[in-house]
Amino acid sequence: MDLGNGLEGTQDTLDAEIQSFFDSAPPLKSSINVSEKLEEFIKRNSEASGKFTLRNGCDRKIVCVTSGGTTVPLERRCVRYIDNFSSGHRGAASTEYFVKAGYAVIFLYRRGTFQPFCRSLPDDPLLECFEFSDESKNIQVHHSHSEAVKRAITEHHAAVGEGLLLKLCFTTIFEYLQMLQMIALSMRSLGPRAMFYLAAAVSDFYVPWKSMAEHKIQSASGPLDMQLNQVPKMLLVLGKDWAPTAFCISFKLETDTKILLEKADAALKKYKMHMVVANELSSRKEEVIVITSNNERISVRRNRTLGVEDVEGPLIQLLVERHSSYVQNF
């Protein structure tokens, strides 16, 4: 069996790698708080499905959207870390469209990355959107940003107020995978109504906590020679053990378009995903290709002249339709 690290091995080996990853992880600081929030959110939305039906006549569904990149600390008292490019734009935009489609969303995001409903605000919203009013006593929204600020506040408060958005943040690879496991185990009770939309850019290599330097690594010691372990791909256990009835969508990112679809196809089969969204780094905001378990390859494009503002709009519409069929046929 391929373990996702290019080696042949057994299920026991994969389980051992995963166990070793979690054993080597520092305990999640906020784990009680996270699990209380999760329990409350899932309970509330499970009950909601009994009382309400959505616009399309289905029970309420819950999606976990992962967003942004994970860091890999090099020191326990971390001064340096390895990071990646992900801005979290995909996850934030997708969350908005899922909420609009009536989903409850658990937004697992990298601290400091793009947030749902705030994408149209400038980079430094506090300093750019606000100004002093008369005599410098009060603060008001600058007229050029008033529509964007109003929309952000209204839509965000509506989503949170209606109990449709739970935001949980991570920084490191350790936090991300521990939280993903907690979320998946909590969502198990939802059966096929649960969806995972794994847009986070997850590190492939890490320094195990046990072998990590405690203090800042000294540059006076000369060039740094460091061995990184491979992060076990959790996609297989996610779909098989943690949330076996959930609808799972993973992403495949490449910079070489020649290998993108081939790799996405392989990921679909290897990790038994229901769909894989393939994207290339530089064109990721313009086009994605969805690979399905029925061997379809569906191109989804942004087209501003036709009013398709971002690729996530039609992408989420497609996934919502496929998820509905999955639930109905389950």
Q: Which of 99, 234 has the CB closer to ligand PMT?
A: 234
Give the position of tokens 């679909």: 268
- Count Cα neighbours of 15 within 13 Å in the Cβ-side half-sphere: 6
What x/- string results for residues 186 through 205 when contact with ligand PMT is judged by CB under 6 A?
A: ------------xxxxx-x-
Q: Which of 59, 204 has the CB closer to ligand PMT?
A: 204
Q: Which of residues 52-91 bind ligand PMT (CB under 6 A)?
A: 86-90
What x/- string results for residues 258 through 287 when contact with ligand PMT is judged by CB under 6 A?
A: ---------------------x----x---
Q: Which of 115, 250 has the CB closer to ligand PMT?
A: 250
Q: Examine residue 151 and tell whether it contacts ligand PMT (CB under 6 A).
A: no
Report yes or no: 181 and 196 within 8 Å, Cβ to Cβ: no
CA distances from 164 to 69, 115, 157, 239, 255 (A): 24, 15, 10, 24, 35
Question: For residue 3, what are its two tokens?
Answer: 């373990």
Number of residues that bind ligand PMT (CB under 6 A): 21
Classify the C-alpha dihedral 58-107-245-252 as positive or negative: positive
Q: Which of 221, 282 has the CB closer to ligand PMT?
A: 282
Q: Which of residues 293-322 bind ligand PMT (CB under 6 A)?
A: none
Q: Which of 48, 238 has the CB closer to ligand PMT?
A: 238
Longest Cα separation, the chain: 72
Strand order in the sheet with 287-292: 165-170, 104-110, 62-67, 194-198, 247-254, 275-280, 287-292, 297-301
Q: What's the angle, vertex CA 99, arms to CA 97 and CA 104, rounded to 5?
A: 135
Q: Examine residue 251 and tell whether it contacts ligand PMT (CB under 6 A).
A: yes
Task: Please identify, among the stretches 136-144, 150-158, 232-240, 316-324, the one whose residues bind ligand PMT according to the rule CB under 6 A.
Answer: 232-240
Contact positions vs ligand PMT (CB under 6 A): 86-90, 198-202, 204, 231, 233-235, 250-253, 279, 284
